[in-house]
Chain A
Amino acid sequence: MEAGDVFEPVEYVVTPFICSEYAHGVEENCEWFHSAETPAGRQIRPPTMIHVDKMRILEKNCRKEQRVSGAKGPHARIHYEYHARHHSPAFVGERLIVSGRITDKYVKRGRTYIDYALEVRTADGRLVTTYTDKTLLKYEKEAGND
């Protein structure tokens, strides 16, 4: 993975299971993520699931980063920064398209970082989320690499 690499997009349909399961896992009890009892009358995808979208797109595009499949790279990644802008909720039943690219890769204080930019839209083009992310590729510092 290098700066400038553009990911092949991933598509999926938002299901009641993935919304409720994710919300349950973070003890988010707002009913909007568990049923259609919402102002819109449709179950809503938790907004922080943009991070799951990151995992999906890495799974498809980076063989060494297939953490969803249980693969381990040579070094554990460590998430450093999350930045999501919400433009509209995504609802159960909608097909989402996640696209993105690597915006930068650099060494800072002996550690290698990688920056991503992602965008989530519905299949009919409505913008749902824009997202940027900083991740350390390896926690241990490289000797003499600054």
Chain B
Amino acid sequence: MTEAGTSGVLGVGAELTGPARVMTSERIQWYDSAMLSAAKGELARVGTNIHTDAEYAKSQGLPAVIADGMISTNWLSSMMLTHFGMDYLERGELRTKFIKPIFLGTLVTARGRVQAVERRESGALSYTLEVWCEDEKGVKLTVGDARVEVAPRR
């Protein structure tokens, strides 16, 4: 079994890093087709939209194809899962805002920073984090916050 949530106690200011990946047309196709397949319950392939077709994107007022915001959201969610495991799935929260478009060729890195840690009466640790995806220059493209309550370990 792949282990998740094995990072131990994190203090305020602790930084998390998720995947660093270049946004490619293949990754956009993978996501869009997977989303459609999951919605239909059968293999599907994405058609023309603002994420896959430059001309259509321009017809909608965009300068070029942009990545679906759920790609960066998923990379942040994966970072949370890696650090907090089942606690994230049972008592976690993730909010993301897509403040800048992600264009093809951008190196996107998922990151997080612990902003607060509180111990509950139950012994659980409640974490609040700032999370974001940035480009290779450190410009934030997707921003948000996350919370998770980590149950006491027996």
Instruction: Point out residues on A near B: beta carbons under 8 Å.
Output: 12, 15, 17-19, 21-22, 24-32, 37-39, 44, 46-49, 51-52, 55-56, 59, 67-68, 70, 72, 75-76, 78-89, 139-140
Residues on B with beta carbons closer than 8 Å to the beta carbon of A139: 60-62
B91 located at the interface, meaning its Cβ lies under 8 Å from any Cβ of chain A in the complex: yes
Size class of the contact patch on chain B: 35 or more
Q: How many A-B residue pairs have CB under 8 A?
A: 144
CB of B133 to closest CB in A, whole Å: 12
Residues on A with beta carbons closer than 8 Å to the beta carbon of B61: 139-140
In Å, the complex CA distance between A85 and B34 comes to 22
In Å, the complex CA distance between A1 and B70 comes to 23
Q: Mark B1-45, 1 if CB is under 8 A from A, else 0.
A: 110100000000000000101000001001111111111111100
Instruction: Point out residues on B near A: beta carbons under 8 Å.
Output: 1-2, 4, 19, 21, 27, 30-43, 47-50, 56-57, 60-62, 68-71, 73-75, 77-78, 81-82, 86, 88-98, 144
Residues on A with beta carbons closer than 8 Å to the beta carbon of B4: 30, 32
CB of A27 within 8 A of CB of B98, answer no
